[in-house]
Amino acid sequence: MLPRIGLFMIILLLIGGSILAQEATPEPKAGDTRTDAKGITQVYVPPGCFMMGSSEEQLAAAFELNPPAWAKSVSFYEKPQHEVCLTQGYWIDQYEVTNAAFDAFVEDGGYTNPAYWSEEGAAWLAKQDVTKLPVACEDTASDHPRVCVTWYEAEAYAAWRGGALPTEAQWEFAARGPESHIYPWGDEWDPANANVVDSEGLSAVGAYPTGVSWVGAYDMAGNAMEWVQDWLNGTYYKNSPTDDPPGAETGTQKVEKGGWWGSNAYVARSAYRHFEDPPTYQDHHIGFRVVSAVEAGS
């Protein structure tokens, strides 16, 4: 039997070793990368604050981009500009979910495992022929964004990954950063930074390295527009909480962010909120990405 003093020293050494081990795992920094359990690269977004939405001055400048009348008419969705703080860091996909990544979900029983589907998603799925899902889409290149999926399918894929669709605030902060830039790369439009203007179709993810956001996320302006968690609500910004806004509780349309191929500089702004699609909608312009919570040691 060890003397009491010897046992005490061993306990202290064990505790000290545990503390040192914890200190040896530094907190991730903005733009750090990791690979999640499904092999998808994500970038780290630290806690922080930014100005969400658009000011009157920013909208006036945006109108000079000659947006189509339908886009300009819904500018009220971006007002008022308001401070938002994300109190917890998170991981967000560096690239839009690709056809190859979504195929892995399908092959792993994504459409037949109820664990991945919300109650509303399961109700939608029950009305479908799962042997014909996902619906055929004209772009099947493995490294192109997966489009032509409903919000419910995107939600189920995110659950399969162990994550979720980003809230609109999470998405917009990952795109704009603490300086609240108009575009992921800054405040001036540059068509060379995104697959938007005069485009005839989707490109491979990551094809526009000069257009990355402050944390190194690609294609947050252009390529595919992206589903986010939030219901669209024209008055929510007036009453939004400052910390971690979850979005409106109910609605009929889901917000989409980030512009899309063949569109224009106005809708490619990070504050733009697309306004017309219910969660059952499928379109060859709409893709998505996933966020994951920060776990100990990740």
Domain range list for the chain: 33-293
- State the CATH class of domain 33-293: alpha beta
Number of C-beta neighbours around residue 161 at 10 A: 22
Number of C-beta neighbours around residue 194 at 10 A: 30
Q: Which two tokens stand for residue 16?
A: 């000290």
Q: What pLDDT sits at residue 11?
A: 41
CA distance 203 to 194: 10
Overall average pLDDT of the 136-148 stretch: 97
* Helix or strand run (H / E) with residue 254: strand 254-257
- Which amino acid, residue 17? G
CA distance 174 to 194: 16
Overall average pLDDT of the 142-165 stretch: 98
> What does the DSSP 8-state code read for residue 293?
E
Number of C-beta neighbours around residue 51 at 10 A: 17
φ/ψ (deg, to 5) at 170: -60, -45
Q: What is the pLDDT of residues 236-248, one digit of tens each?
A: 999 999 999 999 9
Region for 115 from its dihedrals, namely left if φ exceeds 0, alpha if ψ lies in -120 to 50, beta otherwise: alpha
> What does the DSSP 8-state code read for residue 132?
G
Overall average pLDDT of the 84-91 stretch: 98
At residue 159 the predicted structure's pLDDT band, cuts being 50, 70 and 90, is very high
Q: What is the pLDDT of residues 172-231, one digit of tens each?
A: 999 999 999 999 999 999 999 999 999 999 999 999 999 999 999 999 999 999 999 999
- Least Cα distance to 148 among 104, 218, 202 occurs for 202
Cβ–Cβ under 8 Å, residues 269 and 62 = yes
Cβ–Cβ under 8 Å, residues 91 and 298 = yes
CA distance 123 to 121: 5
CA distance 247 to 169: 8
- Least Cα distance to 176 among 185, 163, 168 occurs for 185
Least confident among 12-16, 49-53, 259-263, 289-293: 12-16
CA distance 51 to 55: 9
CA distance 168 to 165: 9
Give burial (CB, 10 Å; 0-12/13-18/19+) of 296: exposed
- The reply to whether the predicted model has a pTM over 0.85 is yes
Strand partners, 60: none
Overall average pLDDT of the 123-139 stretch: 96
Average pLDDT, the chain: 92
CA distance 91 to 56: 32
Q: Is the per-residue pLDDT at 86 higher than 60?
A: yes
Q: Is the per-residue pLDDT at 18 higher than 70?
A: no
> What does the DSSP 8-state code read for residue 133?
-
- Least Cα distance to 171 among 90, 283, 232 occurs for 90
